[in-house]
Structure 1
Amino acid sequence: MGRGNDTPIIEFLLLGFSEEPALQHLIFGLFLSMYLMTVLGNLLIIVAVSSDSNLHTPMYFFLSNLSLVDICFTSTTVPKMLVNILTQSKVITYAGCITQMYFFLLFAGLDDFLLAVMAYDRYVAICQPLYYTVIMNPRLCGLLLLVSWIMNALNSLLQSVMVLQLSFCTDFEITHYFCDIKLVVQLACSKTFLNNMVMNFGVVLLGAGPLTGILYSYSKIITSICRIPSVQGKYKAFSTCVSHLSVVSLFYGTVLGVYLSSAATHSSYSSAAASVMYAVVTPMLNPFIYSLRNKDIKRALKRIYGMAGTKGTIILR
């Protein structure tokens, strides 16, 4: 945890997207707008699900948790970047970097797991509808959520503690807008073989694992939908999956895009720009996808809007 001369590390430098001062105001305004939209949109989903008894089902329980995780996910990185732009500073403390790294890994992993759990929920609802309430009982839903938190918390803790054991010599510049664990490990002047092995194992277990579960669930869902005789029945069954499938495609599509683009260009700045898609844009779009394509959410949001309008009228009178 020190430099080559055993001097403790105090801080890293987050270089962000551009060194051009003229672009800083544009970047600040853009990210502030996206962050506020993310927080507001996901909060509306949480309030809608909590306030409407018709939405107290497993699917919307996991959706509200996904919205909470998306708020936390974006809040892990964007506020620090905005503060750095305002103060014209690129500094993040060593402790702040490790903390940011831990929570980024935690909430990114939780996004993966919750999308997989939601896919399983849709699988049970479509493939085993008669047993849905028995299988997806509150105890199982709580257990699935708890396991997701525990596994990702342990993974994040392990990887963060392993970074604490590394030594850093002279280079403390991170060509990103947050402390990406891969880039931080690359800055170390000590051996990083074990860190890389654990990172790759984490990607396979906590990244590819949930994706495999999602693909398996949807393979069964598609098979079941194809067996439905009526076109109307097929459409009704598939419509319950459209929102979730759109979110899954957006999240994994952008994640894969980041890794493919970074592998092709070998540019950290390109990777930083691409990572905005899954770390900022996807959490911002999720509420819109669910509210635009889901009648239940639309109805709940309209009811909240109506109640707010009624209260406003009473106060004015």
Structure 2
Amino acid sequence: MTSDKEAKVADLRSQANKARWHILSTVTSSKAGHIGGPLSATDLLVSLYFSELNIDPADPHKADRDRFILSKGHSAIGLYSVLALRGYFPVEELATFDHAESRLQGHPDMRLTPGVDASTGSLGMGLSIGIGISIAAKKQARDFHTFVIIGDGESQEGQVWEAVQMAPRYKLDNLTAIFDLNGLQQYGWQEGESDRFDRSEPMGHIDLEAVMRGFGWNVISINGNDIDEILTAFDQNRALRDSGKPTAILAHTTKGAGISFTAGTFKWHNGIATDEQLATARAELIEGASK
């Protein structure tokens, strides 16, 4: 007999497959956008929007909704795909991605797009925005939680570490930072055989868990492409809401995850799929998943 959690995980995997298909096909159609970073974060985004966040697509500005910030704003098509599947706007609108006058620009714009809580794109700023929102929630005695997804490449920005130091000072247990540790950024060089892929991992040569604990954060480490582990991490995170500390979820992912020809290669940081590649992806994500 299938348990409730197994059924939930299966449903979320199905949504993640759909989101991945929309990411690849939309970027290919628009001839603009990123691939690898959105795909590495897809399981995290789907799990947040379909399971964890207290949100209402019919009321995107609900005062006590949970907030989500995509700090790695160049992965916007990943967020838009999940927002569309969740009902914030029609899936068909994805076809306008990055077009003039579209609500779905290359980086998230909170003035345009339903469900977007922060305009991002200048890397390194998302956690600072999340801290401001979390402090405001504390001061106003509002019971909502703020989540921020941070890329490991953007974690080289100094502002990220200024924010990391600040959050524990204000005891922001209403703030969760999710590090999407996909091991690759657009540029880099091979460091050694210990690297996961064909370029040096941005955060792969430090003990990030020890660093975050040292700064005063709760830390949960997971496989960020395993939905079962993601849901367990969210359960653990909820149990820490009165800890007086912010929480960091270190999500070890694969860049380009979920599609055979994009997984684990820096060359698919961005790119346009061929007709043959689209057919392969559709077979893997949609047709194969339905059998």
Regarding TM over 0.5, the answer is no
More helix by share: 1
TM-score bucket (shorter structure): under 0.3
Q: TM-score, normalised by structure 2?
A: 0.25
Larger radius of gyration: 1
Q: Which has the higher contact order (CA 8 A, sep 6+)?
A: 1
Q: TM-score, normalised by structure 1?
A: 0.24
